[in-house]
Structure 1
Amino acid sequence: MWRVYFAGVDLAWAGRNPTGVAVLDADGRLVHLCAVRDDAAVLAALSPYVRDECLVAFDAPLVVTNPTGNRPAEAALNRDFRRFEAGAHPANTGKPEFADGPRGGRLAAALGLDLDPRSPAGRRAIEVYPHAATVALFRLERTLKYKAKPGRTVDGLKSQLLLLMDGVEKLADAAVPLHVAGHDGWAGLRRQVVAAQRKSELRRAEDPVDAVVCAYVARYFQRCPAAVTIYGDFATGYIVTPSLPCS
């Protein structure tokens, strides 16, 4: 049976850290959610959902050509999102993780996905950035601080991650809906976050949550292309995100 899927991959830039994978069906219902570590596991998680029409959104660079500094995409996105504390990290081939090409680009190529965000192809991959996406989608004044950094407490991180999960669940009523509430994996994540006593426990939950945001951005891009901004270009690298509201 021919089906359409939207996948999100919160990809670790290097292979040592976990990667979140989420998949939505054509109606925006969460159908798969997991965290994996190596490339083979990422490909195995995605392969059942990319055989027919699909759009896979990676939270990781897919195209990196500049030897130093920021890509033009990052510089452009940062001009709009820095005031929300949602600037993107610089990617360049001088960094060890990009010396042999970006991991995301290699995975997309292994799946046979078209990387051009403006391509009419039925099987595509795009680069996205959850921090910028949530600022635009949820009209945040600044990014939610659920990433573990010095000075942040477990209770503070938990509160911020639960706010993100609340926002994701409220997208069930959005013009482009997302339905996660009925998925056992999502319910398990929420229980895990509520019960967490250590930062490491929250860290294990945030990757799948970010992957769901990525998958939603893929569906949003397909359904509302006029409401999305593509920073940069296919030649030098790009980032796709829901557009900020006009001020």
Structure 2
Amino acid sequence: MRMYFAGVDLAWAGRNPTGVAVVDSEGCLVTAGAVRDDSEILAALQPFVRGACVVGFDAPLVVTNPTGQRPAETALNRDFRRFEAGTHPCNTGKPEFADGPRGGRLAEALGLDFDPRSSSARRALEVYPHAATVALFRLERTLKYKAKPGRDLNRLKSQLLLLMDGIEKLARTAVPLRVVDNAAWIELRRQVVVAQRKSELRRAEDPIDAVVCAYVALYAQRCPAGITIYGDPATGHIVTPSLPADLVSR
């Protein structure tokens, strides 16, 4: 049976869209899109997680600390903050984690093993696209495609297109990812190019981030020596391609 690698750019609040992408064992993008509620997320993933799979969630799977940040976040930030790729702190004092993280509930519903070091054929990983792109694309700082005050449409669009360019160039790496012939990817690029509003960019951004998550899942499987696992089973892990030792921040 073919193994699949899925990516979930999970909205912490259920009312916002979630990006979902799937890559096959050959590194070819199968699907990329956006859904809303948990039932839609599970339905989108279900055909691809019946057998061997790795699902990369851009969201916490384990949150037990009542305040502050998790050890995984502290450790990742130590490496990546200088590239502006630090994570937001997660704790059960925040309403979205008070009843347990959404990502963890979804991974449990799919019957996935949370341990990134597990030999299980069906695993869930917590991943972080900003850190992954810094490491994979050797960025001096993160790409600024997220809508924030002071960032205009043209700047956001150019940065999102740079992200897409970087993803397309992964086809020529030791762990190839092939996206350019996929109809969903072609449509995402068209949406970004013609976008006239930030909201239109946002609709494309979630599936694109999900593709990065799926690739990290593939990369972790194909190149385990090239990843770093931050954290521990009790308090949560974050898995990312390892930061190159010679990479310098801007």
Shorter-chain TM-score: which interval? over 0.9
* Amino acid in structure 1 at the alignment position of 2:103: G
Alignment correspondent of 2:129: 130
Letter in 2 for 1:43: L
> What is the CA deviation profile of residues 125-166 of structure 1, one whole-angstrom value per residue up to 9, with x for unaligned ones?
000000000000000000000000000000000000000000
Distance in 1 (CA, whole Å) between partners of 2:83 and 2:68 is 21
**For 1:178-198, what per-residue CA distance to the aligned partner results, in whole angstroms no more than 9, with x for missing partners?**
000010000000000000010
* SS across alignment from 1:185: helix
Q: What are the residue-to-residue correspondences of 1:40-55 with 2, within 5 Å? A: 40-55=39-54
Percentage of pairs with the same residue = 78
Aligned twin of 2:215: 216
Cross-structure match for 2:145: 146
Letter in 1 for 2:235: T
TM-score (norm 1): 0.99
> Counterpart of 1:240 in 2: which secondary structure?
strand
For residues 1-247 of structure 1, the aligned pairs below 5 Å read: 2-247=1-246
Distance in 2 (alpha carbons) for counterparts of 1:148 and 1:246: 30
Question: How far is the alpha carbon of 1:209 from its aligned partner?
Answer: 0.3
In the TM superposition, what is the alpha-carbon distance from 1:121 to its structure 2 partner? 0.3
For structure 2, the 5+ residue unaligned runs are: none
Runs of 4+ in 1 over 3 A off after TM superposition: none
Deviation of 1:16 after TM superposition, in Å, equals 1.2
Measure the CA separation in 1 of the matches of 2:117 and 2:242: 16
Distance in 2 between residues matched to 1:238 and 1:100, nearest whole Å: 19
- RMSD between aligned residues: 0.5
Q: d(CA) in 1 for partners of 2:221 and 2:234?
A: 21
Instruction: Classify the secondary structure of the residue corresponding to 1:73.
Output: helix
3-state SS of paired residue (1:245): coil
Q: What is the identity, as a one-letter code, of the residue corresponding to 1:35?
A: A
- Number of residues of Structure 1 aligned to a counterpart in Structure 2: 246
User: What is the distance in 1 between the residues matched to 2:192 and 2:243?
Assistant: 29
Output the CA distance in 2 between the equivalents of 1:195 and 1:218: 30
Deviations along 1:47-75, one digit per CA (max 9) or x if unpaired, are 00000000000000000000000000000
The Cα of 1:32 is off from its aligned counterpart by 1.2
- Partner of 1:244, secondary structure, is coil
Q: Which amino acid is 1:164 matched to?
A: L
